A = this chain, B = another copy of it.
């Protein structure tokens, strides 16, 4: 897959002059949306089908600060797939140097707010995601 590039905005930086740590979770979301788009299952199409995809958990290690006008290159892999959850792994680099490593786990909820077995609902997407699965 093509990495996602986030260009850091002025308003994303804090008093320390660096990107506020909470914003990386937003960049990760951007990269996920881009990945789903590349896989042919854009996030808003899911929403139109009445599916929402809440975040179950996040872990993130901040390695090196980034700042205004940096281009952050975000690469995503799939780390784990269970019946109800998918875990993505993220590598964020700026100027060739590692900025952050992170993971995020997601589930899918149907219009009745009940968990969706995504392999049944979207077999093609599941196939594509499993191709991105990495050996730990």
| A interface list, Cβ under 8 A from B | 9-11, 13-18, 20-23, 25-26, 29-30, 33, 42-44, 47, 52, 54-62, 65, 68-69
Contacts and interface: CB of A to CB of B under 8 A. Distances in A.
A33 B11 CA distance: 11
Q: Chain A interface secondary structure, helix, strand, loop or mixed?
A: mixed
A59 B62 contact: no
A9 B23 contact: no
B16 A14 contact: no
A132 to B, nearest CB: 21
B29 A44 contact: no
B14 A22 contact: no
Contact of A29 (B11, B26, B58, B62): B11
Contacts of A20: 11
Contacts of A30: 9-10
B15 A25 contact: no
A63 to B, nearest CB: 9
